[in-house]
Structure 1
Amino acid sequence: MTTTKPQPVIDKPLLHYGRRTLDRTGPGTPETAYRILDVAPLTPHIGAEIGGVDLTEPIGDELADELRQALLEWKVIFFRGQHGFEQHHQVALAGLWGPPEANPFFPKAETAGVSRLAKDAMAIGMENIWHSDHSFMAAPALGSVLRAAEVPSAGGDTMWADMAVAYDNLSDEIKERIEGLTAVHDWVPSWGAVMTEEQIAQMRSKLPQVEHPVVVRHPRTGRRTLYVNEPFTTRIVGASEEESRELVDHLTLQARIPEYQVRFRWQPDSIAIWDNIATQHYAISDYFPQRRVMERIAVAGVPLS
């Protein structure tokens, strides 16, 4: 008697044929005319360097509106040469989008909501992974403001991936299969790897597993966005173990496609602001034994739908 080897749930082609859909905004969105900001795109659909603004000066209503619009349009925006930019400026800047959100794993590293993230010659560091901040929380962070305090002479770049574009380019078959599905997000497989069982139990009481839609509607644009990531999305609710693993693997790997990404080379006093629902990011750990010091503040989010 012969047996037939089970076919994979998802057939993964080695090559992509034809053009990709790389839309900066959703269908029907009008073009933005900026009166204050100088917007220099880094790719056609994600990432732009912003000129014409000194973020150490008070931010008036018109400038605030343009900054918010630029972030919605480009998903991550960059500023260079912001000398004299200090923590109170960072708090005020992040406040344009909402109140600060504490990182539950670095409470002692924060001052006024700003986390100081240092990697120096004493710490080789570890390879990063594509992720969306705080997706293991019921209301994940809406965005982040990150300042480069000290950077290596080479290396230490950060990349962002556009997850609305990632959704747009899924096959019709996959879109149909994931419509209405939810996924479990959990911090234990990642953060728990460096914690004791007692520490995990204590933190678990504060941070239980949560579920989010596999495809979310962006809370401010309504655009459909793929919302799964490698470290925190553990399974698809209601799917068999095999189907869940196949789907999670296929969907999380979409962030690795270069056409969906932008890469930013840091300089001292550079600043990045990113939309944490629309993007995932990856900090490249290639600069040992040099030093890299960043200061970040996250913006509190809302439950996703």
Structure 2
Amino acid sequence: MTVTAATDTPRPVLDKPLMRYGRRTLDRLAPGAEAPEYRILGVTPLTPHIGAEISGIDLAQPIGQAAAEELKQALLEWKVIFFRDQAGLDEEHHLDLAAVWGPPEVNPFFPKTGTTGVSRLAKDATAIGNENIWHSDHSFMAAPALGSVLRSIEVPSAGGDTMWADMGAAYDNLSDELKARIENLTAVHDWVPSWGSTMTEEQIAHFRASLPPVEHPVVVCHPRSGRRTLYVNEPFTTRIVGLSDTESRELLDELVLQARVPEFQVRFHWEPDSVAIWDNIATQHYAISDYYPRRRVMERIAVAGVPLS
């Protein structure tokens, strides 16, 4: 073992600490909201503030009004909800389940199983597993997807988990100074740096005609819960309006790291016939690519959203 002698060279002085110390704020509900009661569903939390397993319902059967209302309450409360052993769920039931929250929204870049808006997400044994990145679905659209419903078709025996981060908690734990700084800022969201990286110039021009860059508030008021939520993500948020390139990059680098804080996250291990439903405004997610060369096949429906404010 080599021992390096200490020197008198001073350590660099940082403008701000690399990590925050002390208790984090981990509120499950928006300020002033009361916890709902569940008479039909069983709700088992996976963390104190994000993620719960739901029991007491067969998603392949018609979902009555009372059950639909409890599902909506559970998603608002927990931001992402999970179901096990839903073997009877097919594409038609999948669409009916997503319709509890709204009409489907088609992702222009995902392969479809038909004309229904169901996207098949598959990685097979011949493909190198690609690294994922924390993101919000469709933030590059003027009205980003409100949520997504994902069901497992085929899963590896180990690996292939998905993680979600509570972006309300991410906002709550910013310093008061930083909250004040970003209060009225907007940011540009664009698909070209990510989806466009594997396209030709002609393909980019084709999609650009209907998908120009859009702007969203850096801090949004959730359209259903009213909770203040940090709304920037690594692949799609390209710059903050009104700041220099350097200021924008430095601020975005700080903000997007909030999704990586473990206390804000929940992790779900997929089994055959599992279903996850998440609030796409309240959360970001990360599909873990650790299962190569095994196969993982999922089907997803996004729920159409509204412009954010």
Mark yes or no: TM-score above 0.5. yes
Give the structure 1 partner of residue 103 of structure 2.
99
Match of 2:304 among 294, 300, 305: 300
Whether 2:80 is the aligned partner of 1:76: answer yes
Letter in 1 for 2:139: S
In structure 1, what is the Cα distance between the partners aligned to 2:173 and 2:103? 33
Give the structure 2 partner of residue 152 of structure 1.
156
Give the structure 1 partner of residue 231 of structure 2.
227
Q: Which structure 2 residue ranges, 5 or more long, are not aligned?
A: 1-12
- The DSSP-based 3-state class of the residue aligned with 2:197 is helix
Give the structure 2 partner of residue 85 of structure 1.
89
Q: Which structure 1 residue ranges, 5 or more long, are not aligned?
A: 1-6
Identity percentage of aligned residues: 77
Give the structure 2 partner of residue 3 of structure 1.
none
Whether 2:234 is the aligned partner of 1:263: answer no
- The DSSP-based 3-state class of the residue aligned with 1:198 is helix
Give the structure 1 partner of residue 198 of structure 2.
194
| C-alpha contact (below 8 Å) 1:81/1:270 kept by paired residues | yes
Using the TM superposition, give the Cα deviation of residue 242 of structure 1 relative to its aligned residue in structure 2, in angstroms.
Answer: 1.2
Whether 2:37 is the aligned partner of 1:18: answer no
Whether 2:164 is the aligned partner of 1:136: answer no
| C-alpha contact (below 8 Å) 2:121/2:300 kept by paired residues | yes
Runs of 4 or more above 4 Å deviation: 107-111
Using the TM superposition, give the Cα deviation of residue 106 of structure 1 relative to its aligned residue in structure 2, in angstroms.
Answer: 2.2
In structure 1, what is the Cα distance between the partners aligned to 2:35 and 2:259? 26
In structure 1, what is the Cα distance between the partners aligned to 2:26 and 2:19? 18
Match of 2:279 among 275, 278, 285: 275
Give the structure 1 partner of residue 188 of structure 2.
184
CA RMSD across the alignment: 1.2
In structure 2, what is the Cα distance between the partners aligned to 1:14 and 1:174? 15
In structure 1, what is the Cα distance between the partners aligned to 2:298 and 2:189? 26
Using the TM superposition, give the Cα deviation of residue 84 of structure 1 relative to its aligned residue in structure 2, in angstroms.
Answer: 1.3
Give the structure 1 partner of residue 117 of structure 2.
113
| C-alpha contact (below 8 Å) 1:149/1:294 kept by paired residues | yes
Using the TM superposition, give the Cα deviation of residue 223 of structure 1 relative to its aligned residue in structure 2, in angstroms.
Answer: 0.6
In structure 1, what is the Cα distance between the partners aligned to 2:16 and 2:194? 26
Give the structure 2 partner of residue 205 of structure 1.
209
Using the TM superposition, give the Cα deviation of residue 15 of structure 1 relative to its aligned residue in structure 2, in angstroms.
Answer: 2.9
Question: How many pairs were matched up?
Answer: 297
In structure 2, what is the Cα distance between the partners aligned to 1:13 and 1:160? 25
Give the structure 1 partner of residue 7 of structure 2.
none
Using the TM superposition, give the Cα deviation of residue 240 of structure 1 relative to its aligned residue in structure 2, in angstroms.
Answer: 1.1
Write out per-residue CA displacement over residues 101-154 of structure 1, whole angstroms, 9 at most, x where no aligned residue.
001112545451111111110111310000000000000000000001100000
In structure 2, what is the Cα distance between the partners aligned to 1:200 and 1:111? 23
Whether 2:244 is the aligned partner of 1:240: answer yes
Letter in 2 for 1:210: V
Letter in 1 for 2:116: A
Using the TM superposition, give the Cα deviation of residue 82 of structure 1 relative to its aligned residue in structure 2, in angstroms.
Answer: 0.5
